[in-house]
Amino acid sequence: MRKGYNVPIWSTFIIILIALDQLTKFLIVKSLEVGESIKVISNFLYITSHRNQGAAWGILQGKMWLFYIVTIVVLVILFMFFKNEGYGRPDVQLGLSLLIAGSIGNFIDRLFRGEVVDFVDTYIFSYNFPIFNVADAALTIGVIVLIIVILFEGKEEKA
């Protein structure tokens, strides 16, 4: 049985993710110099202080005005989707809440720092994956959740 929206729960979830994102970034800025790295798991996971004025893989460096506009438009669309498509669908609400939290987390960095603080540095089969943060992880997981929802949509009705 599906219920409508649970705004207090999803709002709290979003606020907690944003707070976690901002707290971890604050700790990195205060504890490590840019470029400084701490080994967590050798050849796999490091905490590396990094700044990014663009998007993943450093694309669109220095185009902050573009990120401001795109983020605001994306947030409006995400809230509209939450209202229109999320009703009675906690899976959709989860995916959209992750996207909202991740978007706001990185937007705060761009707005107040002029750059995004990244710090999770991973090596996957010797490939150094782009350094990311909690907001980036929330965005990625949100996209994965929504892809799964879309792939399985309608299959539950056939079963």
Give the catalytic positions in this structure.
118, 136
**Cβ neighbourhood burial of 81 (10 Å; 0-12, 13-18, 19+):** middle
**CA neighbor of 82 nearest in space, from 14, 154, 136:** 14
Q: What is the DSSP letter of 115?
A: S
Residue 136 to residues 86, 103, 141: CA-CA distances in angstroms? 22, 8, 9
Q: How far apart are CA 102 and CA 18, in angstroms?
A: 7
- From the CB of residue 100, how many other CB atoms can be counted at a distance below 10 Å? 25
